[in-house]
């Protein structure tokens, strides 16, 4: 039953409804997400339109060859090949969609935080930048097994001094903990946003590697640094920096 006023309120007649519409909606949403991901990936990586079907055809052909060569059931190898091909295609699509999304965010204040939120377990990431200036250049801090990592976001000429100052603060407080610093941007010597996760994974953990308890202790000590509770610059909210999926689809 629907009562029409300025807003339409729809009240279910019975609480015991069939789950089929919900399942259909879930499937439709899943298929729409795949379509959007493909569209986003194709805009940055045109070769994806040929790679996905090529993987499917290649695995199916491989299954047929194995079946006829060893006299095994054809239907079994076709199903197995199809499942493996779909998994490979989904992994490829996920990877390209993520990189395409990062490419769209590159250059926007707070974009680094979007990548840091995706690095997974084993890291403590400060929810807000630990330093910033009037040009909306930011410094982010995180703690993991490699030690303390300081990441500057902005042009090298503006962030170099700010990054060095934060490094001195951390060293005064934690002189025995390794400190890694680098900049995210498009200038020479800077790390591209799409390569940030890979750069973090490649940080050395020898000869010093922090344990989980040490990561917690170091993170707590760092909260005592001056400026920890400075307000976020105007127009910068790292929690709201998201890729514009409609713009990337070209709509």
- List pLDDT tens digits, range 198-223: 999 999 988 888 999 999 999 999 98
Confidence of residue 246 (pLDDT cuts 50, 70, 90): low
Confidence of residue 4 (pLDDT cuts 50, 70, 90): very low
Average pLDDT over residues 176-190: 91
- C-alpha to C-alpha distances, 74 to 53, 58, 66, 81, 82, nearest whole angstrom: 21, 15, 9, 10, 12
The pLDDT, as a whole number, for residue 1 is 45
Quick check: helix, strand or coil at residue 16? coil
Average pLDDT over residues 76-105: 91
**Separation of alpha carbons 145 and 103, rounded Å:** 27
Average pLDDT over residues 24-34: 85
Mean pLDDT of the chain: 83
The pLDDT, as a whole number, for residue 16 is 47
* Residue written as token pair 């015991």: 16
Kindly state the percentage of the chain with pLDDT values over 70.
Answer: 80
**Separation of alpha carbons 235 and 144, rounded Å:** 29
The pLDDT, as a whole number, for residue 116 is 92
- Stretch among 5-9, 46-50, 58-62, 156-160 having the lowest mean pLDDT: 5-9
The pLDDT, as a whole number, for residue 108 is 86
Q: Which residue has the higher pLDDT, 191 or 1?
A: 191
Beta strands, E only, the chain: 2-4, 8-10, 124-125, 131-132, 138-144, 147-153, 179-184
71: alpha, beta or left? (left if phi > 0; alpha if psi -120 to 50): left
**Separation of alpha carbons 50 and 135, rounded Å:** 43
Helices (H) and strands (E) in the chain, counts: 8, 7
The pLDDT, as a whole number, for residue 40 is 86
Q: Are 1 and 13 within 8 A, CB to CB?
A: yes
- Cβ within 8 Å of residue 19, ≥6 positions away: none
Confidence of residue 102 (pLDDT cuts 50, 70, 90): confident
* Residue written as token pair 């000590």: 221
The pLDDT, as a whole number, for residue 230 is 54
202: alpha, beta or left? (left if phi > 0; alpha if psi -120 to 50): alpha
Q: Are 56 and 88 within 8 A, CB to CB?
A: no
The pLDDT, as a whole number, for residue 2 is 45
For residue 183, pLDDT beyond 70: yes
- Structural tokens at position 164: 């060095």
Using CB atoms within 10 Å of the CB of residue 30, give its burial: 0 to 12 exposed, 13 to 18 middle, 19+ buried. exposed
Strand duo 131-132 + 124-125: pairing: unpaired
Q: Which residue has the higher pLDDT, 235 or 115?
A: 115
- Stretch among 30-39, 62-71, 79-88, 226-235 having the lowest mean pLDDT: 226-235
The pLDDT, as a whole number, for residue 51 is 94
The pLDDT, as a whole number, for residue 83 is 97
């Amino acid at each position: 039953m629907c009562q029409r006023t300025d807003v339409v309120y729809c009240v279910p007649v019975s609480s015991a409804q069939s789950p089929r519409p919900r399942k259909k909606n879930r499937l439709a949403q899943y298929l729409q997400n795949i379509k959007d991901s493909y569209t986003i990936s194709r805009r940055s990586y045109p070769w994806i339109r040929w790679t996905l079907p090529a993987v499917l055809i290649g695995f199916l052909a491989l299954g047929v060859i194995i079946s006829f060569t060893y006299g095994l059931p054809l239907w079994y190898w076709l199903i197995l090949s199809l499942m493996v091909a779909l998994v490979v295609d989904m992994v490829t699509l996920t990877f390209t969609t993520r990189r395409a999304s990062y490419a769209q965010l590159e250059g926007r204040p707070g974009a680094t935080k979007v990548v840091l939120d995706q690095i997974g377990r084993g890291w403590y990431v400060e929810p807000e930048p630990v330093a910033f200036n009037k040009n909306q250049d930011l410094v982010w801090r995180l703690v993991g097994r490699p030690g303390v990592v300081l990441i500057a976001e902005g042009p090298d000429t503006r962030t170099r001094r700010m990054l060095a100052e934060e490094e001195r603060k951390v060293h005064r407080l934690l002189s025995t903990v390794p400190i890694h610093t680098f900049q995210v941007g498009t200038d020479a010597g800077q790390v591209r946003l799409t390569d940030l996760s890979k750069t973090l994974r490649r940080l050395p953990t020898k000869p010093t590697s922090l344990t989980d308890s040490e990561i917690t202790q170091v993170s707590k000590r760092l909260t005592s640094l001056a400026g920890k509770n400075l307000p976020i610059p105007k127009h910068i909210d790292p929690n709201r920096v998201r890729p514009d999926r409609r713009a990337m689809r070209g709509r």
